[in-house]
A and B are shown apart, each in its own frame.
Chain A
Amino acid sequence: MNDIIERERGLLELQKRIADLRDANASQPVDMSPEIAALEQKYEQLQREVFGSLTPWQKVHMARHPSRPTSVDYIGALDRFDELHGDRHFRDDPAIVAGFALLRGRPVMVMGQQRGRDTKENLRRNFGMVTPEGYRKAQRLAHTASRLGVPIVTFIDTKGADPGITSEEHAQSEAIATCLLAFTTARVPIVATIIGEGGSGGALALGIADHVIMLEHSTYSVASPDACAAILWGDASKAEEAASRLKLTAADLQRFGIIDEIIPEPLGGAHRDPTSVVAKVLGSISSGLQRLSAMSPEALLESRYQKYRRIGAWHDERRAAVGSGP
């Protein structure tokens, strides 16, 4: 069960009581305004208590919240979108939505991992777990964008790459590896935004970028906490513990220099006010592209290379911290 939904339930009940009291107040002579005000105050306080500071595991639940805006919500808010389909070899993977679009008038190649908002859509979209065909669609379009000088905008929202038999048969590793190659060599600005859950290489396949944005309550980790617990301790039920150890929150990753910008969410999460969150995200992407568009392709490639070169690189500071090593 989603922990955030559980927490929202109590608040919803209180909200309903306040509404009922308001209705009652309007139709009877006794003034209940002070009671209503007190309840409203309690509601505000409770909301701050419940959502004011989320643990890493609660953030994972927030990132997986079924009402949280997904890639199509952001893509749908662009000025225009023409979807492009397929890997030109085998099939079209609905877990990646991609195509040409206009962002504040600027042509972009947009691609996002797409989970479903309900069970039926989740089955069609494979819960946002991308198959090799999806990564091949993404790399094909990254090559096109690079060749035509169209900036790339990506939205990341996946637990991880699809771990099925067919995906292995179709060389999932190769599909992700060559997708990484396509993004690392693209001669156009790339802005990536982690809007929900960013899990493992399956997320990173669309995540190599010149500017990386994270929503405040989104998460980004080397493996989903569930997978990490299964890998390290053979017990997926220790996911909460893994979540706290993995340092998967936006604040942690900004501190590490792995992401560049955090977009705050309304109290209670992005789904409380999706319109304003989507607008803020698109605004940040647009400013990022504006800044990056001043750079030559050579300067862009060099700065992208150095950016990843630095992450966790051996330098004097670390040498001192490590000492003679273990």
Chain B
Amino acid sequence: MPMPEWLRSRRSKNADARDAALWSKCPVCGEVLYRRDLAANLYVCTKCGHHFRMGAYDRISMLIDGDFTEIGAEVLPGDPLGWVDKKTYPVKLAGDKEKSGLSEGVVCGIGAIDGFEVALAVMDFHFRGGTMGTVVGDRITLLLEEARKRHLPCVIFTASGGARMEEGMYALMQMAKTTAAVARFMQDGNPFITVLTDPTTGGVSASFAFEADVIIAEPKAMIGFAGRRVIEQTIRQKLPDQFQTAEFLLEKGAIDMVIDRHDLKGTLVRLLQYTSGSTSVAL
């Protein structure tokens, strides 16, 4: 069974922390990239164009002009099931916080993209695989409610392994909660755009990710409902490499466009122009 791309990139981390801070190895072409060059190129491999996973704040600073007012930052995770496996859930969360520098798997807030004020949510795979628990559900819902109140467009960047197992049914119910917030937001005529980044699966892909007016994906992003491993176990055969990539979904008609990260901001701005209610857009 081939190792999924996201797992390969996670396992290929350089053991030496100081080196890792300076250099990154492209998981696809193997090129060793100077971290500063990589950042300057929006975390896209300068040799092969592989899109690295981005941290939420890197993404926000790539898109937002000036100030970004966070929403829901005070919402923090609890331990509703008292979950314990090899570690307790609070210990796992503390590790994710340390590793990602985030308090949870999504950062939400209001800011401007090229002058367009938007409600923006960015999920981050580095926190518990971007899984959706009560905090992700709550923050997304608070953002959609605020956007609805202020008639702002909403843009959500997804990156998620699905629902968070350690929060059990509370996690599953966040699909219902966020969907209800999306429905109210959209019924009022507000535009909703999602950008699916690597990976977007399970409870997140089967809720707000696929409820938007326009669905964009980054190149080669893995997108699907069931994980590759689950499907391979079910059908007992190896899946083609292209299966569940952004390009595959585009061909099957499930998403609107696949956009290179360098063109992403421009594309979002054009979509915001079409949908902002304006009757005349200056070129």
CA distance A15 to B225 in the complex (A): 47
Would you call B179 and A248 a contact (CB within 8 A)?
no
Q: Which B residues lie within 8 Å of A63 (CB)? A: none
CA distance A233 to B85 in the complex (A): 9
Contact flag A200-B78 (CB < 8 Å), given A180-B207, A181-B183, A313-B134? no
Q: Which A residues lie within 8 Å of B174 (CB)? A: 311-312
What distance in Å separates the Cβ of B81 from its nearest Cβ neighbour in chain A?
5
What distance in Å separates the Cβ of A72 from its nearest Cβ neighbour in chain B?
25
Does B227 have its Cβ within 8 Å of any Cβ on chain A? yes
Contact flag A305-B180 (CB < 8 Å), given A180-B175, A222-B165, A223-B163? yes
Instruction: Name A217-265 residues within 8 Å CB distance of B.
Output: 220-223, 227-228, 230-233, 241-242, 245-248, 253, 256, 258
Instruction: Name A164-218 residues within 8 Å CB distance of B.
Output: 164-165, 167-174, 176-178, 180-181, 184-185, 200-201, 204-205, 207-208
Instruction: Name B212-235 residues within 8 Å CB distance of A.
Output: 223-227, 229-231, 233-235
Does B239 have its Cβ within 8 Å of any Cβ on chain A? yes
Does A322 have its Cβ within 8 Å of any Cβ on chain B? yes
Would you call B176 and A232 a contact (CB within 8 A)?
no
Would you call A200 and B209 a contact (CB within 8 A)?
no
Does B120 have its Cβ within 8 Å of any Cβ on chain A? no
Q: Nearest chain-A residue to B133 (Cβ)?
A: A312
CA distance A230 to B227 in the complex (A): 11
CA distance A312 to B140 in the complex (A): 13
Q: Which of B177, B182, B184, B207 has the most CB of A within 10 A?
A: B177
Contact of B169 among A184, A208, A248, A322 (CB under 8 A): A248
What distance in Å separates the Cβ of B162 from its nearest Cβ neighbour in chain A?
8
Contact flag A247-B169 (CB < 8 Å), given A173-B225, A178-B211, A230-B230? yes
Does B137 have its Cβ within 8 Å of any Cβ on chain A? yes
Q: Nearest chain-B residue to A222 (Cβ)?
A: B172
Does B94 have its Cβ within 8 Å of any Cβ on chain A? yes
Does A105 have its Cβ within 8 Å of any Cβ on chain B? no
Would you call A308 and B225 a contact (CB within 8 A)?
no
Contact flag A174-B210 (CB < 8 Å), given A169-B252, A322-B78? yes
What distance in Å separates the Cβ of A111 from its nearest Cβ neighbour in chain B?
17
Q: Which B residues lie within 8 Å of A313 (CB)? A: 134, 138, 177
Would you call B206 and A165 a contact (CB within 8 A)?
no
Q: Which B residues lie within 8 Å of A171 (CB)? A: 210, 249, 252-254
Would you call A201 and B103 a contact (CB within 8 A)?
no
Q: Nearest chain-B residue to A200 (Cβ)?
A: B172
What distance in Å separates the Cβ of B142 from its nearest Cβ neighbour in chain A?
8
Q: Which A residues lie within 8 Å of B179 (CB)? A: 177, 180-181, 184, 208
What distance in Å separates the Cβ of B226 from its nearest Cβ neighbour in chain A?
3
CA distance A173 to B212 in the complex (A): 12
Interface size grouping (class) on chain B: 35 or more
CA distance A250 to B254 in the complex (A): 36
Would you call B175 and A168 a contact (CB within 8 A)?
no
What distance in Å separates the Cβ of B166 from its nearest Cβ neighbour in chain A?
8
Q: Which B residues lie within 8 Å of A164 (CB)? A: 231, 234-235
Does A309 have its Cβ within 8 Å of any Cβ on chain B? yes
Q: Which B residues lie within 8 Å of A34 (CB)? A: none
Contact flag A258-B169 (CB < 8 Å), given A173-B224, A312-B138? yes
Contact of A308 among B85, B173, B254 (CB under 8 A): B173
Q: Nearest chain-A residue to B223 (Cβ)?
A: A173
Does A321 have its Cβ within 8 Å of any Cβ on chain B? yes
Q: Per-position contact with B for A283-326: 1 when CB-CB < 8 Å, else 0?
A: 00000000000000000000011001101111000110110011
The B interface, classified by DSSP as helix, strand, loop or mixed, is: helix
What distance in Å separates the Cβ of B214 from its nearest Cβ neighbour in chain A?
13
What distance in Å separates the Cβ of A96 from its nearest Cβ neighbour in chain B?
16
Contact flag A305-B184 (CB < 8 Å), given A168-B231, A227-B230? yes
Contact flag A168-B225 (CB < 8 Å), given A184-B179, A185-B187, A325-B76? yes
Q: Which B residues lie within 8 Å of A163 (CB)? A: 225-226, 230-231, 234
Does A161 have its Cβ within 8 Å of any Cβ on chain B? yes
What distance in Å separates the Cβ of A57 from its nearest Cβ neighbour in chain B?
15
Would you call B85 and A312 a contact (CB within 8 A)?
no
Q: Which A residues lie within 8 Å of B97 (CB)? A: 326
Q: Which A residues lie within 8 Å of B103 (CB)? A: 325
What distance in Å separates the Cβ of B12 from its nearest Cβ neighbour in chain A?
19
Contact flag A222-B176 (CB < 8 Å), given A168-B231, A247-B81, A318-B78? no
CA distance A311 to B165 in the complex (A): 16
Q: Nearest chain-A residue to B139 (Cβ)?
A: A314
Contact of A222 among B84, B85, B169, B225 (CB under 8 A): B169
Q: Which A residues lie within 8 Å of B223 (CB)? A: 173
Q: Which B residues lie within 8 Å of A326 (CB)? A: 76-77, 90-91, 93-94, 97
Would you call A312 and B211 a contact (CB within 8 A)?
no
Query: Beyond the given A221-B168, A256-B169, could you list 12 further A-B residue pairs with CB under 8 A, ordered by the A residue number?
Result: A165-B243, A170-B252, A171-B210, A176-B206, A177-B211, A221-B172, A222-B163, A223-B165, A258-B169, A305-B184, A312-B134, A314-B138
The 6 closest A-B pairs by CB, nearest first: A312-B134, A163-B226, A325-B76, A173-B205, A172-B225, A176-B206
List residues of B whose CB falls within 8 A of some A CB. Answer: 72, 74-78, 80-81, 83-85, 90-91, 93-94, 97, 103, 133-135, 137-138, 141, 161-165, 167-177, 179-180, 182-184, 187, 202-203, 205-211, 223-227, 229-231, 233-235, 239, 243-244, 249, 252-254
